[in-house]
Structure 1
Amino acid sequence: MSATFKSIRSLQPLFDRVLVQRFKAETKTATGIFLPSSATQSPLPEATVIAVGPGATSADGKVVPCSVKEGDRVLLPSWGGSPIKVGEEEYQLFKDGEILAKINE
């Protein structure tokens, strides 16, 4: 099941949720050969962070901020996430703890 919104600005993640957009698989090689859809079906594990919630509340009542921020490149698991569609663009909502790594370049 996926949710559909008209604008990405209308969506603000809550708690320790992180809104990401996965990188799209290349459909053409550097030499100009088009790849079949069967070769590009699995989602890429890399994504860009679009929006971040304020953080989760700890047992003592303090807010623990998320470990990533808007614009970060992250490594995601191949499973999980809640799909969200905004116009023709696809996004996913993950918990901060489900993100595998932050990619520093």
Structure 2
Amino acid sequence: MKLYPLGDKVVLKQLEAEETTKSGIILAAKSQEKPQEATVLAVGDGKVDGKEIAMTVKEGDKVVYSKYAGTEVKLGEEEYVICKMSDILAKVE
């Protein structure tokens, strides 16, 4: 099954949460903060209310998005985030 975003929406695959701190302390699952970094899996066509919005990301880009942005979706065993293009803050290179 594949997700096809509509309009100015983007499908993201969140990166895994850090399980240890930089100093080597192992974090419990409850204390692991979800990362705001993700990989773009699919991009909509950019049309909203008859206007075209420039989609500045493409499949495979690594991005940082707003902390409370988007909708979390679970398909099978995989979890995804669907958010608006405007919720993406930056590309990561």
How would you bin the TM-score normalised by the shorter chain?
A: 0.7 to 0.9
Q: Percent identity?
A: 43
Question: How many Å apart are 1:66 and its aligned residue?
Answer: 1.0
2:54 is the counterpart of 1:54:
no
2:16 is the counterpart of 1:27:
no
* Alignment correspondent of 1:93: 82
RMSD: 2.2
* Alignment correspondent of 1:71: 60
- TM superposition score normalised by structure 1: 0.75
Kindly provide the CA deviation profile for residues 38-79 of structure 1, in whole angstroms up to 9, marking residues without a partner as x: 331x21010000100010347xx5523311100000001110
* Alignment correspondent of 1:44: 35
Question: How many Å apart are 1:26 and its aligned residue?
Answer: 2.6
Which is greater in Rg? 1
Unaligned runs of 5+ in 2: none
- TM superposition score normalised by structure 2: 0.83
Please give the secondary structure, in 2, of the residue aligned with 1:100: strand
**Matched AA of 2:36:** P
